[in-house]
Structure 1
Amino acid sequence: MRLRSRRPWSLRTRLVVSAVALIAVVATVIGTVTTIAYRSYLYDRADEQLTALGQRAAGPPVPPPGGPLRERSPLSVLGDPGSPIGALVAVVEGGEGGEVTEAGYSTETETAGGATGERPLFPVEKLDAAQTNALAAVPRDGRAHTVELPGGLGAYRVVYAEGYRDAVLTGIPLAEVENALSTLVLVELSLTAASLAAASLAGTVLVRIALRPLRRVAATAAQVARLPLHSGEVALHQRVPEAEADPRTEVGQVGAALNRMLDHVHAALDARQQSETRVRRFVADASHELRTPLASIRGYAELTRRGREECGPDTRHALGRIESEATRMTGLVEDLLLLARLDAGRPLADETTDLVPLVVDALGDARAAGPDHHWRLELPGDGGPAAVRGDPARLQQVLLNLLANARTHTPPGTTVTARVRGEGTTVVVEIQDDGPGIPPELLPAVFERFARGDASRSRHAGSTGLGLAIVRAVVTAHGGGVTVASVPGRTVFSVTLPAERNPTDADSQADHRLITPA
């Protein structure tokens, strides 16, 4: 299965996404470094507090001067001022490799006997077997380690310490450290999300403003792209405004380059138009001037051939050929003159014209000229006229050229069908044949002037190669269009013309039936 291609991102989207992604990366790096530094700071403070607690619980390495102090339990330090709630002390019997014999942790601070000067009392909870075993597994290397105690106590920072009195394991809870780190991460995530949202909105606005000159350049290019530059006189006056054509900026360089390109294109189109105008004027003048000498040649040839003087067979044949070629050249000159007039925009007659009698008459002429073909006529089934606004003589010429093209370029026995039908606001005339078809390589240029086909549709009866060019020029002058579709066994030329909005009854009505010559 073919995967649907992803829709490409616009330049504005890419710029905003790139900026937001860069901010996200920077915020992530800053947040990560801050969290690591803050964690290291909190753990260092916890380790300092833990070391002090261990020294108080185990006692100094040697007895103080004057003899040892009054002996007391290592767990009693849990009630000393400055000991954190939740701190634990475990007595290790036998030194570094000994077993934990007594362990407990403080729960809350309470005072009793303050008036008599007695030491404050602090409740101590004993550790259960599982908690004691987890605590006993801590390495006894004098360095702080993190251990997870079961029973809901959570993570503790634990260190092993030895004094002149006892060897102990002391620990302080890491709940406050973890809460502080969680709060910091949450604040960083919230600030990062808010910053990215604000950067997206602000970036969208700023990029939209920054790309406004580029949109004006694109709008100018789009206006030029909509102009019909392929033919005719082109007024190419669209230019990028000077404010967006400053070569000191990137967008200005694009606008200035587009303006220079449009200047060159305008100059080229103007030169092309002037050249076409000169060629058309030359063709029109030459065609007009050739009509008289050609008529004289035909007249003298016919006069000589019909004269009383006896001529030899060779002379009569030569005069016949002169008259025939003069007739063909006259037709060519008339076609060139018509095309030149249409190119120059000469106005055509504008009157209501019913295409039905025109098609009937044209098909009758084609039947007389090509009796070896089969001719068919299909008219609208409602029996009404197919009225358009146009020049009847020129529309008749269109039909004659299409039928002559079908007769000339198809072999004897081919069936040619002329069809007229209405399609809403248009009238369509189709000329269809079941001949060998038009070669695919010729189809794109079939309406060009002096177009020639291969042997399957070659010129037989003196075709000038201008018939279909005249068809397109006349139909275009009437505001319509002509197309061709061809495969072996079916070639259809379709002429579409705007229908008359308020048609009048034609002077003559044709027989609106399917007509098939016997």
Structure 2
Amino acid sequence: MRHLASRLSLRTRLLLLTANLLLIGLTLISAVVSDRLEHYQLNQLDSQLRSFTTLISRAPATGLSDTNAVTAYPELLDPALDVFGVPYGVYLDANGKVVGSIRSSRLEGASLPPLGALHTVPTDGTPVTLNAAEGPQRWRAVARPTAALEGVFIAAAPLTELDAMITHLRITSLVSGAALLALLTAVGWFALGRGLRPLRQIEHTAAAIAGGDLTRRVPGIAAPNTEIGHLATSLNTMLGQLERAFADRAVSEARMRSFVSDVSHELRTPLFGIKGSTELYRMGALPERADVDETMQRINREAARLTALTEGLLLLAQLDEAPEDKLDRAPMDLRTLAGEARHDLRALAPSRQIELTGPGGSGPPGPAPVYADEDRLRQVATNLVGNAAAHTPPGTPVRIGVGTVADRAVLDVIDQGPGMTAEQADRVFDRFYRTDRSRNRTSGANAGLGLAIARSLARAHGGDIELETSLGDGARFRLALPLQEVGQTDSGL
């Protein structure tokens, strides 16, 4: 049965459940109504029987022993008995013998209760039900002792009409209940179909999503404050999260493929250079000492480049996994790094005009206290000034600004170079990305990891590197870090 129910649709199961509950309800109502009606009719009949027996029991003894006297005039007796509602009465003497009776002419041919059954009727007026001597007919009887004569008077009435009425009522209830059940079942089938229509729309949406259409959403099929409305809202929220998750995964996979391709290319280039140089030496193609020295210098450059690339990738991996573990924080001021960066840039490009200013390239340098790892931030500053030197024409002025802006300690590196497009600015911090793919890769700094490492270090400190640039208007790289809080020491307290 359970297996069969599990194979039925929700609509069918709900309809069967509703129909069964309706059938039980109709059955109980029919049973209660028929039982109460029968009980009411019996009470009415019992009241009539008690009244008649009480009246007869108090009357003087007259002709009850003369049966013919009371049955000779049915045209007079029948209306009198109808007034009391008692069609049959019998008088029993002290020995239990019938000494007189009253019977309506309408009972001709009816099967009366047997004498033995009449003897069982209590004389205290308690009504009892008796079976007829022949056939299924039933009688209701009440007995009272008579005051004038020693004996008992019993009044009885057939239950034929009452049983027929109750039977007719039950048959009518059965037929009408069956018709009502059939009608309500049909109405319920269509009503459930209409009520479950939102679930079918949800099912179709789920099927479309399973087919690959992640943009599908459950339409507004019900009011938001209903159960279906809550379900639709929850499903749409979940579907939006799934779509974003799939999109993020696709982007992540694309970046990973690009990253692996770039790493492979960056590693392959120095390795091929080293391998080619060693092959030349093995084949004896370097007969002169000068050729050997030049080849060894080339191998050393490629090895240094390979080492720088490997260390950069290792540092990025460590910063991605546990950035705080790579920091040795202490109180410091970004003005120290700004002064060192100006000296470094002057050493790289003596012909450049280099200014040390406040934030944004204007005003005097200001204090910028931070609680940070000085060596790591020095690496950030070196990358920023190295980027300015590498991507601007010789002699391009550079300004290094330092100070406090909006409760943040900032270090700016501002150049007046060619700038970048919006697309280049969006990707300049990506690993292995270069605005000029044709640039010679002569050092690890040109592998496209410098700015990626710088931003990762800045974010490990709770800050970031911001870029403002446009094509032809130069670029401003800003290192922004949280200011040192009062009471912070080397121990972090």
TM-score normalised by the chain length of structure 1: 0.47
- The structure carrying a bigger helix percent of its residues is 2
TM-score normalised by the chain length of structure 2: 0.49
Larger Rg belongs to: 2
